[in-house]
Amino acid sequence: MSAPFEILGTDHVGFIVGNAKQAAVYYQERFGFEPVAYKGLETGSRDRTCWVLRQGKITLVLQTPMTRDHADIAHLAKHGDAVRDLAFLVDDVRKAWETTTARGAVSVMEPTVLEDEHGKVVVATIATYGDTHHSFVQRDGYRGAFMPGYESYTANKPAVSAGLEFIDHVVGNQGDGEMEQVATWYENVFGFHRIWTIDDKDVSTAHTSLRSVVVANENEYVKMPINEPADGLKKSQIQEYVEANYGAGVQHVAMYTHDIVATISKLSANGVEFLQVPDTYYEDLLDRVGDIEEDIKELQKYGILVDRDDQGYLLQLFSKPVQDRPTLFYEIIERKGARSFGKGNFKALFESIEREQERRGNL
């Protein structure tokens, strides 16, 4: 079955935050993103300020409402700093919007042409799970820094790249019993297909539990695991998220690097906090994953995790939440053939998350 419309990849991840100027510094100093574009009072944008940061092919847009009656204020009050928009790059916005809305998606913004001296960008937006949006972006060779309305920006101090290259996947947490309908929605509305599932039996810590279905677009540049909590002895980390976020939302964004040891060493030096597994994780690592190219001592030094599937192996590491609420975090991932998502690490990882949940009084 061919796709109902083509998605070329992820265009950007849009956030609503309380103070975009300071959040931009956080992403620059901790994660190595370069601030490249800006709109705000100085550019004639009076109701919102946006900072655009880039590293490799990853673009983040941090947006803060500037007026007390701005529509984004409600999002900010409900969710705190959070992902608002997973924007897809397409070659035909009108077709993407017409197809998805005809198949039941709720429109947030009809196809709109934005134009300046650097060219033309077409954008439309639909709603998905929770209060999350998907924008469709058609660039047609646009030559400006980001989009019409933005000025290019050069920081006084340039960013130092951590080697993050592109978005590997973006995970959406759902409420109890909502995973299946959301996964089905992506199949029906976007023509996505399922590439991977886990059920609660795969995730065997005494306490936390989850189910997950991964949906992907035709070329699999867009991969979205959809999670829901499952019953355990104590509260699922997914349930903790849904309570802190007051509903469904983006749980983590996984960013790809081709040299995870180099990337993690930079991010750690920058002060990014990662989940730590016990040293015992490395004692039987080779028995579990077989031969790998990396030096285990290096992996252990940074707490990098390894998992193998029938096509190869992957290396991954998860940050702690990047805001006060235990909601959004980041994954750093390198793939050496493996196309899965690290099921073999769930037990060690979830025990680490549970230690954090315990400290937060949320277990």
Residues that bind Fe ion (CB under 5 A): 254, 331
Q: At its nearest, how many Å lie between Fe ion and the CB of residue 171?
A: 6
For residue 53, which amino acid is it?
L
Q: At its nearest, how many Å lie between Fe ion and the CB of residue 176?
A: 21
Q: At its nearest, how many Å lie between Fe ion and the CB of residue 264?
A: 15
* Contact present, 281 and 301 (Cβ < 8 Å): no
Q: At its nearest, how many Å lie between Fe ion and the CB of residue 209?
A: 17
Q: Which residues contact 313 (CB under 8 A, 6 or more apart)?
A: 289, 290, 292, 306, 307, 336, 337, 338
By CB neighbour count within 10 A (0-12 exposed, 13-18 middle, 19+ buried), where does 178 fall?
A: buried
Give the span between the Cα atoms of 173 and 228, in whole angstroms.
Answer: 6
Closer residue to Fe ion in complex, CB, 37/332: 332
Give, as one character, the DSSP assignment of residue 137. E
Convert 284-319 to b/e letters by CB count within 10 Å (16 or more is b): ebeeebeebebeeeebeebbbbbbbbeeebbbbbbb
Closer residue to Fe ion in complex, CB, 50/210: 210
Three-state SS for 35-55 is EEEEECHHHCCCCEEEEEEEE
H helical segments located in 224-295: 237-244, 260-269, 280-283, 285-289
Closer residue to Fe ion in complex, CB, 85/331: 331
Closer residue to Fe ion in complex, CB, 178/331: 331
Q: At its nearest, how many Å lie between Fe ion and the CB of residue 344?
A: 13
Q: At its nearest, how many Å lie between Fe ion and the CB of residue 251?
A: 9
* Contact present, 127 and 108 (Cβ < 8 Å): yes
Q: At its nearest, how many Å lie between Fe ion and the CB of residue 169?
A: 6
Closer residue to Fe ion in complex, CB, 131/331: 331
Nearest residue to 77 via CA among 208, 216, 218, 247: 247
Nearest residue to 169 via CA among 340, 351, 345, 353: 340
Closer residue to Fe ion in complex, CB, 52/86: 86
Three-state SS for 308-329 is EECCEEEEEEEECCCCCCCCCE
Give the span between the Cα atoms of 105 and 191, in whole angstroms.
Answer: 12
Closer residue to Fe ion in complex, CB, 51/274: 274
Q: At its nearest, how many Å lie between Fe ion and the CB of residue 100?
A: 25
Closer residue to Fe ion in complex, CB, 76/214: 214
Nearest residue to 208 via CA among 239, 252, 183, 169: 239
